[in-house]
Structure formats: structure tokens, C-alpha cells
Amino acid sequence: MNHVVTDKQMAIIDLSTGEKGFKFLANGKTPVEADENDGMLTLKAPDKTAFLVIQHPDYGQLSWKVPEKKGLRKKKHYQATLLTFSPEKEYQMQKQWVIFDIQPKDAILTIDSTMTLTHGRTQHYLPIGKHTYLVESPFHQQEEGTFELSDEERLTVNVALQPVYSYLTVETPLEGCDIYVDGLPIGRTQGTSGHLMEGSHRLVVAKDGIRYYDADFTIGRSEKKRIELTAEELKITTHPQPLPVRDGRNVRKEEVAVDRSSTPVVHAPVTIKALDEETSIWVNRELKGYGSWEGELDAGFYLISTEKDGLESRSTTLWVADNTPKNIELLAPMNDYGMMNVHCNEIGAQVYVNGRLAGTTPCVVKNLHADKNYLVKLVKAGFFQAEKEIRVIGNDLVDVSMELKKK
């Protein structure tokens, strides 16, 4: 529970949840109204609220004791996650992770009007669907666009802002010479300038007080200009070492004509096994059998699932592209499995679940057996390992927030 100073008379608490229809009682007797936002409920609770009674027509009632010893205090702003569980209702992910990799690192990122400093890389847990973004940085052209999140996997957005100013890189064969642009030194023997405005500039190459090159050059907007000076241009009297010869030949890629009329027809043999003989097997919503099924599928994309006692498993995707045999073992009905949303203060930490690599932070680990404890371990070079034991809830998502500390 993190808090910052806010309302002077009440305590404010944000409950992250994708469900609606809750009723809240502070200390079991005082009704508390909830403002509904996107994926969140905001409550204003009385000062020193020790526990909240949470009621819902589908999920029942929960008495939640506040972790703070003195209860929820006025002038504080708290955050918590409200998990719901119903074996009869299929869980639908409401949010997904997006990672922004941005150059330059000092850029400012705005997503759906919310502004953040990036430091080059940043992670966000946002509602599924389309979002807008804007990336800005001094001396660079801003970039704006949209991205769309799905419940399948996290999204990575790479943004490299183009500089508004131009750059000049100079290479010479004269060892130890000083290179100047508009009177400012940029390197010895070779160098790259700082930001240059478009237009005309002065380039000077000198050594031991003698100027070997002095001329103007022009550079365009956002241009990365490169000047490679030769010995003749520098008027060197001694014979410099020969420069590497660039291979200017064009490498041609031979095009291979494909006669698509001779492409063989694809019929892949497929074997599908369910949990037991009472579990039905469905392929693209068509009943194929119970317990197991063997047959052939044409080339294409398929969604395969099982059903038993009114519960349906998560769909397994199958792409048939050739005649290679396919063997598929399907998941049990929905309430036998759960998911974990694993994230921490560092992006890219390896996530191990019971010793097996499950991804990198942030990530959602799916298809975990319910009502079972899992050991989650985070590993990243330069940081101490972090471990936490988590119990997975069937047909639901458990939020796992951890912290890595530098060695």
C-alpha cells in the first residue's frame, strides 16, 4: 500500500478491479460510495477506517482488514488490488503490459494524456484496446502514434526520435591532427560534432600550428553528414598509410521464381487428447469427440478447446502449414487453471516459476494449476535475487509485485 498526501478530511483508496457492482461499508457500518474509473474503483473512507466490508451479488462478501496499524488515515492516498473468483465465470484479462524502448533516454512519454519520464525504458499496465502515445525530447522531432493491447502477450514499442539538429563526422589520414568546426574542437584524427544548425559551417584541420585544410561546407536539416578527407586534400607531403578500399560492387539478390500451381495440398494428421473420456473436444467451435480425436486438418488456423460440466478450457491455437503430424494435449476446464501478473521495479528481469524460466518482467504467466503454491524468483545481473511464494487462484489473475535491490 503506497500513499501520498491528498484529501484533508478523508482517506482515499484506489481498488484495481475489472468488475463492477460492489458495495462498501467502512468499519462494517458506514456506506462508502465508489467512483468508477477505467479498471479502478476510487473510495473516500472515513479517517481511521480499520476494515472494509465488500459486498457483491455474484462474488459474495469479504471483510478486509486494513494492513495499516492505525487504519486508513485522512490526507493519505492508498492503492490496493481487489481480486474476484467465480468458477462459473470465465476470467477475462482487463489489462496488459506495454514496454517502451525510447531513444534518446531523456525523452518524455505521454500515453492517453498521462505524462512520464522514460529514462530510456518504461513499463505500463494499461487496459486492453487502443491507446495513443507522444514522445518528445529537446533537439529532436516528436513522434506520435497509436498501439493496441491484446490479452495474448505484452507489447514492446520501439521509438527512436530523429534529431532536429544535424551532425558532422570527419575522418582524416593525418595522425594527431586537430579538427575544428566553426572554431570549436571536435576530435583528433577523427571526430563528430555536436548539434549543428542547417546551413554553412567552417571546417579546419590543423597540426602543430599548421593548417592542412580550411574550407566551408553545407549541411541540411537533420542530416548526418560524413566527410572523409584524403591526403591530397590535406596537402600532406609525406606518404600516409593507404586507406582501406571500400568495395563498391552491388550484390544482387537472385530472384527465384516459384510455381505456385505446383504447391502440394496440405492435409496434416492431427491427434488431440483431452483430460479424460468425459471431456469434449472442440475445433473451431465444432464438436470432434470425447477424450481423444484423430483426423486430418487442412492448412489454416484453428482454435481448439475442451468442455466439461459447463466449464470451458482456454483455447489452444494451432497453425497448419505443412503435412507434419501434430500432437496436442489440451488443458482441463477453466477453473483448474490460473494466471500470475509478475512485475517489479526493473524491466527485463528473468522470471522463474518453480525453477522454470517463464519470461521476463513484466509478464503474465498463464496456465498454472489452481489451488497450488508456486515459488516465483526474479534474477537480473547486478541485483540480488528476489523470491516470493504465491498461491494461484483458479480462473483468475493474481498480481505479483516484487522489488530487486542493487548489489
Q: Is residue 102's pLDDT more than 70?
A: yes
**Would you state the pLDDT for residue 242?**
37
64 residue type, one letter: W
Confidence of residue 236 (pLDDT cuts 50, 70, 90): low
pLDDT tens digits, 7-20: 678 899 988 887 88
How far is CA 221 from its chain centroid? 33
Whole-number Å distance between alpha carbons of 10 and 53: 17
Q: What distances in angstroms separate CA 383 from CA 138, 293, 353, 400, one per listed residue?
A: 32, 49, 18, 18
Whole-number Å distance between alpha carbons of 322 and 267: 7
What mean pLDDT do residues 98-127 have? 90
Q: Is residue 379's pLDDT more than 70?
A: yes
**Would you state the pLDDT for residue 393?**
81
Inter-residue contact 51 to 65 (CB < 8 Å): yes
Residue 20 three-state SS:
coil
**Would you state the pLDDT for residue 248?**
37
What mean pLDDT do residues 148-166 have? 88
DSSP code of residue 154: -
Q: Is residue 77's pLDDT more than 50?
A: yes
pLDDT tens digits, 337-359: 788 999 999 999 999 999 999 99
Residue 293 three-state SS:
strand
Q: What distances in angstroms separate CA 46 from CA 11, 70, 73, 120, 160, one per listed residue?
A: 6, 12, 8, 41, 48
Higher-scoring residue by pLDDT: 163, 70 = 70
Q: Is residue 88's pLDDT more than 50?
A: yes
* Domains identified in the chain and CATH numbers: 11-81 (2.60.40), 95-160 (2.60.40.10), 167-234 (2.60.40.1120), 264-332 (2.60.40.10), 336-402 (2.60.40)
Inter-residue contact 327 to 306 (CB < 8 Å): no
Give 257's contacts (C-beta < 8 A, 6+ positions apart): none
Average the pLDDT over each of 75-89, 243-257, 321-335 and give the range with the smallest value: 243-257
Cell of 391: 498461491
Taking residue 26's Cβ as centre, other Cβ atoms within 10 Å add up to 23
Give 43's contacts (C-beta < 8 A, 6+ positions apart): 12, 13, 15, 24, 32, 33, 34, 35, 52
Inter-residue contact 109 to 120 (CB < 8 Å): no
Whole-number Å distance between alpha carbons of 379 and 126: 25
36, HSE (Cβ side, Cα atoms, 13 Å):
6
Listed residue (228, 206, 231, 209) closest to 217, CA to CA:
228
Inter-residue contact 299 to 321 (CB < 8 Å): yes
Whole-number Å distance between alpha carbons of 54 and 124: 28
Q: Is residue 262's pLDDT more than 60?
A: no
Its pTM stands at: 0.50
Whole-number Å distance between alpha carbons of 128 and 1: 25
The residue whose grid cell reads 475442451 is 306
Whole-number Å distance between alpha carbons of 5 and 73: 10
